[in-house]
Amino acid sequence: MKKILFLIPFLIGCSSQKEKSPYEKLLDYEGKYEYINETTLDIVASEMDTTLYAVIDNAKYPLKHIKLDSFVNIQNSPVVFQRNKDNNISGYKAGGEKFNLISKEFQKMEMFPRRALFHNPDNYRYKQPEEVNDGLKAGALEDAFKNPEPILNMVKETIKGEYPDVHSILIYKNSELVLEEYFYGYDKDKPHQLRSASKCFIGGIFGIAIDKGFIKSEKEKLIPFFNTEYEDIKNMDERKKEITIEDLLTYRHGMDCEDSNPKSEGNESIMMESQDWVKFTLDLPMIAEPGEVSSYCTGCSTTIGRLVELTTNEKIEVFAKNYFFEPMGITNYDWTFEPNPNSKATFNQMYITPRDLMRLAKMYMDDGKWDGKQIISKEWVDKTFSGEERSFGYLWKHKYFIVDGKQYNSYLATGNGGQKISIWPELDMITVFTGGNYNSYAIYGKSTPPNEMIPNYILKAIQ
């Protein structure tokens, strides 16, 4: 893969005796600015790739320069910076609104994978992960893989920017954590946003609600649970009446809801503009019989989350804390479940450290047990991973790679930006990636780095 540097030659402001470099010109725009819903964002210039980024909730989105103070965002919508009488940046206009510069002082995020090694990646030296009394036994990479060299090369390629915005790589093999690497200023103690990978854990929390008898079965019809809360569910027909909870868990709901289709009535971006995301989902028209066709829809997990609240009579965050996180000793996390426009910037997502993601995945791989405690029933875990190849279990995805003619199967929790938690039962292995390649298809026209790194390095090391 070729490294692409986005050089942006343009003139900004008044001339000076010494011409500024492209990066120095971008520094004019840096600062903390107003943003939608009384929130803020940071505008940051990257020295590594000479690109201007909007940073929202630690997620960065490139702004492409057009002319003078004009840029476009990833939706190709104009972002035009404004100057005051002294010719200094005072704010920007976007979407017909004006947003003011709040301060030139802000916490600038790290833009290099590892600044000290960026130009000398061959100086990287592997270190065995630490044992920090969290239940993950550490081991050596060379003991877990017959040929560890591809994995070491993968880390070096990440350090030099060939796989940009990969924030962490962890590998658990043969009951030991053998690789733990962080980039771009991240570390083992910093919770990372999961985006849609959160959905898979909502499925586990729902399974606990069934295990504890709050819900009789996932085979029950969905709509009756919401008849009291919503008396006027729209587009009600015989097909909608037949939707089961399981149909949502497997994305075989039959509704006009497909996140990858911008014309779908239930598309995630349309849902997020509604005042009640659960009501929005339940109101969608039917286009197929439930239980037949798989169609990925964010509204499914959102509705499942709300169903936990209705049946347990408490906030899902509280239920999850008591029965999912704290029994595993997971306390360094953040999650607010609020399915309405207040969550437009955070997407209802969880924030969890990569090591705790590894622990959660290990619990699933060990039939729902952690440290001798049954967190989720084995029956629910088995159902979670049931289903056909290239389909969904209970909110988890079946994913496989073919390398040199051999198929490697996994169960995957995946989220926008490169969040990949993969369980490989046949290999006695778990891999965890976190990253910041948000909307990578829209920006770069390709999938996130782990989709290349797993088959080209990790699975090569298996061979």
Residue range 11-15: mean pLDDT, rounded: 42
Q: Judge if 287 and 432 occupy the same domain.
A: yes
Q: Judge if 75 and 204 occupy the same domain.
A: no
Per-residue pLDDT at 78: 97
Contact 166, 450 (CB under 8 A): yes
Q: Judge if 224 and 370 occupy the same domain.
A: yes
- Residue 201 CA, chain-centre distance (Å), reads 12
Q: Taking 90 as the threshold, does the pLDDT of residue 242 lie above it?
A: yes
- Within a domain: residue 140? no
Residue range 86-97: mean pLDDT, rounded: 97
Domain end, chosen from 84, 103, 122, is at: 103
Q: Judge if 326 and 427 occupy the same domain.
A: yes
Per-residue pLDDT at 4: 37
CATH of the domain at 88: 2.40.128.50
pLDDT confidence of 7, banded at 50, 70, 90? very low
- Within a domain: residue 345? yes
- Within a domain: residue 294? yes
Total residues found in the chain within this entry: 463
Q: Taking 80 as the threshold, does the pLDDT of residue 234 lie above it?
A: yes
pTM value is 0.93
CATH of the domain at 382: 3.40.710.10
Helix, coil or strand: residue 105: coil
Q: Taking 50 as the threshold, does the pLDDT of residue 3 lie above it?
A: no
- Please write the tens of the pLDDT for every residue from 297-314: 999 999 999 999 999 999
Residue range 394-409: mean pLDDT, rounded: 96
Q: How far is CA 356 from CA 48, 277, 351, in A?
A: 30, 29, 10
Domain end, chosen from 46, 80, 103, is at: 103
Q: What is the mean pLDDT of the chain?
A: 94
In sequence order, what E strands does 134-257 have?
Answer: 166-173, 176-182, 192-193
Q: Judge if 257 and 380 occupy the same domain.
A: yes
- Please write the tens of the pLDDT for every residue from 405-447: 999 999 999 999 999 999 999 999 999 999 999 987 555 567 8
Residue range 333-349: mean pLDDT, rounded: 94
pLDDT confidence of 283, banded at 50, 70, 90? very high
Q: Taking 60 as the threshold, does the pLDDT of residue 8 lie above it?
A: no
Q: Taking 80 as the threshold, does the pLDDT of residue 11 lie above it?
A: no
Contact 333, 234 (CB under 8 A): no
Per-residue pLDDT at 444: 57
Structural domain boundaries, residue 309 = 192-462
Per-residue pLDDT at 2: 38
Q: Judge if 198 and 337 occupy the same domain.
A: yes
- Within a domain: residue 254? yes
- Within a domain: residue 438? yes
- Within a domain: residue 148? no
Residue range 260-285: mean pLDDT, rounded: 97
- Residue 178 CA, chain-centre distance (Å), reads 23
Q: Taking 80 as the threshold, does the pLDDT of residue 6 lie above it?
A: no
* Overall domain count for the chain: 2
- Please write the tens of the pLDDT for every residue from 364-395: 999 999 999 999 999 999 999 997 766 899 99
Residue range 136-141: mean pLDDT, rounded: 98
Domain end, chosen from 103, 123, 142, is at: 103
